[in-house]
Amino acid sequence: MASVQAAKRALRAELKRRLRALGEGEKRRQSGRLARQVMQHARYQASQRIAVFLSLPDEVQTAEIIKDIFQQGKECFIPRYQPHSNHMDMVKLASYQEIASLPVTSWNIHQPAEEDVREEALSGAEGLDLILMPGLGFDRTGNRLGRGKGYYDAYLSRCLQHPKGKPYTIALAFKEQMCESVPVSENDVKVDEVLFEENKTQH
């Protein structure tokens, strides 16, 4: 177990170096291509209730996807993280414009305040159809290296308890985030598909 943690730490450091070296223009270009891939994706088109992350500067930018979710009349849910645990909810967003007015967390991510009562995606029978996920690194078989807090793994295990079952998961990655293989521990949950530029892997 300790060796897996050490391998993850080393890979996280390497991936952060790669991301720091990635220019703003290149991040925008790849993000634009990935947004189009998502919008054309059959799973996206068939989904009504979609959870999507609000991007950090070193993540694939999701603004265009979020705008499209609202333009298509779908329902959009965004993460609300609890800072001192690995608990995360996916709460409903009313509009794209609303994001700018949400409070900012210590990680500089907009998210609704704790006391802001909103629908949580798993609270009703509909659950979620699709989760678009971030991460630091991925391999072609769907293994994902997160930032080490375990928010998404914990949330996906909650999804498994929901009557609707686990939603389809698509991770969005810059091609620089793709690895030969990602070290995993037993509570790491694979993603169904990783979208990145050039080719698409599915398993």
In tens, the pLDDT along 105-163 reads 888 889 999 999 999 999 999 999 999 999 999 999 999 999 988 999 999 999 999 99
pTM assigned to the model: 0.94
Can you give the residue range of the structural domain that contains 73? 2-202
Tens of pLDDT, residue by residue over 28-80, are 999 999 999 999 999 999 999 999 999 999 999 999 999 999 999 999 999 99
Which of 135, 102, 116 is closest to 12 using CA atoms?
Answer: 135
- Written as six digits, the tokens of 100 are 């700018």
What's the full length of the chain, in residues? 203
Q: What CATH number did the domain enclosing 6 receive? A: 3.40.50.10420
Name residue 124's amino acid.
G
Cα separation of 178 and 91, whole Å? 29
Into how many domains does the chain fold? 1
